[in-house]
Structure formats: C-alpha cells, structure tokens
Structure 1
C-alpha cells in the first residue's frame, strides 16, 4: 500500500445496521470521517490542532459509490488518501474493504474548503504555510 494511504479498521456495530443486518448507507459517510481524522492523526497532526490554529475543513461535497453491503460484525478497513490538494480546496478519496475477503464495498470522496473560524475561505499556503507544506508532502507520498 502506498505510504500516503492510511488504513483504519473497525468492526460493524449492530446499531449501524438496518433490520436486514446491512449497514445503513449514511454510516459510510461517518466512516469516511473516521478515515479522514485517523489519516490526519497518523500523518502527525490532529483536527483539534488544525482548529486551534484557526483552520477548519468543512465538507462541501461528498460522493459515494456502493458496490456491496457491509454487514453486522464484519471487520472493514477504511483506506484514505488525499486525492487533490489546491490552495483553497482539499479532496480525500476512500475505499471501504471487507477484511475477510478483500471485497471493495464502497468507494467515494469528500471535498473540503480551507476556512477560518468565520467559515471564510483561506489560502492555506499563505495563511499557514507550514500546514500547507505538510499536507503537500503527505499528498506526494511523504511521511
């Protein structure tokens, strides 16, 4: 696996499924958030630290493609990477894989805009050049 992809595993909880034992579709967005948060943490920063520095990353768009269902008690792996990095925008790509058979269950992406605490877009390379350089290194596969 590429060094700029972070894998995080979790077990499907009963409360995440519907009456048929299939993961309810909106939970995949929650798992994308888990993947994104853990990707940032693994790379050496946390969402909390970003926010303390005045940088927010609201989601502007989300795309999901459902392939196969995850079910109660499955162990899934959320694979997260930066798909695109711009001066004002950032996109993450995700794959959710069932660990037992390696089956791709869901793929997708979320698009974000860098904002300040007032939710006004900021040019991250200008306002927080260290953070931008760090993200750029991660995007290019650095550790």
Structure 2
C-alpha cells in the first residue's frame, strides 16, 4: 500500500515535542529525577492527505498556552511538497511521580518557555 500507518503520527508528534523541549533545556529524565512525570492525557488528530513511505515529513510543534497543570501542544505535519498531511494536538499533565496526583507546572519550566514573568 505504501501509506504510513495512522498510529505513526503519534510517534512523530512525540519526537518533535521531545526535540522542541530539549532545545529549550527541558529534560524528561531530569524532571523524572525531580519527581515530575508528564503523561499524555488527550490526543486529537485530523488526517488531511496520506503520507507515503518515501515522503520527507516536516513536523512543526507549538505550545498553545501557558502551562498550569496541563500543557497543550499543536502539531502540523507537511510533506516535501508542502502539503498538509496531518494536524493534531496533545495535552500532557504534570503529575507528582510518587502520588500520581496533578501538580502545577514548575516555575523553572515556565521560565524556560516564556522567560521571567
């Protein structure tokens, strides 16, 4: 068939999000060492045109709002012809790793995203 399986788009989102966070100095590993985990709690995808196995895909990721207890990201995936392949959103929650209860976004993380408020 030659078409990328729909589940792969979630992996593309994750890789782009992790790279984006890393470029800002946010490390999942360090956050986990500090007792913070960030599971994905909601996903929304809208497929526009199929991606083919040989396509060169570009994933754009944006933080949609100042994080409080949750962080919402939007994604745009394009192929080498600049066609929109997929649009999506993920919402992640900040949780205390021991209690698994929601917690506020650490101030130092907000500063990495937006600078001093």
TM-score computed with the length of structure 2 as normaliser: 0.90
Q: Hey, what's the Cα distance between the residues in 2 that align with 1:45 and 1:58?
A: 15
Q: TM-score, normalised by structure 1?
A: 0.74
The reply on whether 1:54 has 2:22 as its aligned counterpart is no
Q: How many residues are treated as equivalent by the alignment?
A: 114
- The runs of at least 4 consecutive aligned structure 1 residues that moved more than 3 Å come to none
* Of 81, 101, 106, the match for 2:62: 81
Q: Deviations over 1:103-126 (max 9, x none)?
A: 1100000011111113210012xx
Q: Which residue of 1 aligns with 2:111?
A: 133
Q: Deviations over 1:58-112 (max 9, x none)?
A: 11110000000111121101111101233211100001110x2111100000011
Residues 1:102 and 2:82 are matched in the alignment: yes
- Give unpaired runs (5+ residues) of structure 2: none
Distance 1:109 1:89 in 2: 13
* Structure 1 unpaired stretches of 5+: 1-19, 138-143
Q: Distance in 2 between matches of 1:49 and 1:77?
A: 28
